[in-house]
Amino acid sequence: MSHTDTTADESEGSVFETDVIAEVSRKERFKRFVREYIIASFLIMWDNWRTRVGGAIILFFVLMGTVGTRIIEEPSAGPDRLVGAFETWEYPLGTDNIGVDLLGAIVHATPNMLIMITAGAVFTTVLATIVGTVAGYKGGTLDRILSTVMDIAMSIPGLPLVIVLAFILEPRNPAFVGIVVSVNAWAGLARSIRSQVLTLRGESYVEASRAMGISTPAIITKDLLPNLMPYILVNFTLSARRVIIAAVALYFLGILPVSDYNWGFILNQAYNSSGLYSMQAFHWFLVPIVTIILFIYGLVLFGQAADRLFNPQARVKHIETEADSE
């Protein structure tokens, strides 16, 4: 064999070995990602009873708003009026004064409520996170401008502002309603995030990233946001709870226009029909209240346990447990 053939064989062998090493490396990275971010997250959630209960409640309402609307017929007026809760299998939660099935009303009101809650919580959390992190990290003139905007938004009374906007805009789309009722709720969260970023930007790893010339967006997303995620996630659940209370209250008071079933409108109907004072109709008033309390309870439990998902000690513990089991 010539020297040229030997060199060619060695070259082909080295390329083959490089491809194998690259393939193994990709598989290892994928396995590590699955182990650290999917399996560990699931084990951390399953290990905490608050996350299990809160997650189960939230999942129940998500299924009720998606699958439930296909299983349970949309409610309509019927002959059986003011049937009490748990009196018949046909109407498990009873009926109202025109014979509408309350279970069907609650189920078909859930999709719009979920859209409303998600839109309001996402709007509040995303806007507050962007404004708070940019203001805290950049500092200087930009920080002063954004801090002034935050102060102005915090100084405006929230409820009067929402009422005025509701009368002017008359929002009917549930996503738009969620944004309207949380229009200035972002400012307080943005101020808190800014304070935390002011502390984090002086840390050694942030200074090292800045010295290496890493861009500001990369520093914010890779160095700052992972440390802020427990706080942001907890406040996401708090924002969702705030949207529920505000929207239901405004629908109950008749301030927001009604275009479809929602929990606040059911409460409004029950109250206007003496559901609060008549024992025969009290279930009509009680069903939406229990629904709202249950959903809020699930959000609170999930929010209390959410910080464990980003706790490095808990994550390392479960990664080591998974490695030992292998």
What pLDDT score was predicted for residue 318? 54
Distance CA 83, CA 72 (A): 18
Residue 80, amino acid: D
- CB neighbours of 222 closer than 8 A, spacing ≥ 6? 209
pLDDT per residue rounded down to tens, the chain (326 residues): 555 555 445 444 554 445 444 445 666 766 665 666 566 666 666 777 888 888 899 999 999 999 999 999 888 888 888 888 888 888 899 998 888 999 999 999 999 999 999 999 999 999 999 999 999 988 889 999 999 999 999 988 888 888 888 888 888 899 999 999 999 889 999 999 999 898 888 888 888 888 888 888 888 888 888 788 878 888 898 899 999 999 999 999 888 888 777 899 899 888 888 777 778 888 898 999 999 999 999 998 888 777 666 655 555 555 555 555 55
Q: Using the structure block, give the residue that is written with the tokens 């399996």.
A: 39
Tell me how far apart the terminal alpha carbons of the chain are, to the nearest angstrom: 47
> Is residue 96 within 8 Å of residue 67, measured between CB atoms?
no
> At residue 283, what is the residue type?
H
Report the 10 Å Cβ neighbour count for 162: 22
Which residue has 């706080």 as its token pair?
231
DSSP code at position 89: S
**CB-count exposure of residue 136 (10 Å: 0-12, 13-18, 19+):** buried
Alpha helices in the chain (DSSP H): 3-33, 40-47, 49-66, 68-71, 102-138, 140-155, 158-169, 174-181, 186-200, 204-211, 216-219, 225-252, 263-272, 282-306, 312-325
pLDDT of 19: 47
What pLDDT, on the 0 to 100 scale, is given for residue 25? 67
pLDDT for the residue 282 = 87
pLDDT at 38: 64
Please tell me the CATH code under which domain 49-325 is placed: 1.10.3720.10
User: Comparing C-alpha atoms, which of 157, 181, 321, 313 is closest to residue 255?
Assistant: 181
Q: Locate tokens 């060695």: which residue? A: 10
Give the pLDDT confidence score for residue 36 in this predicted structure: 62
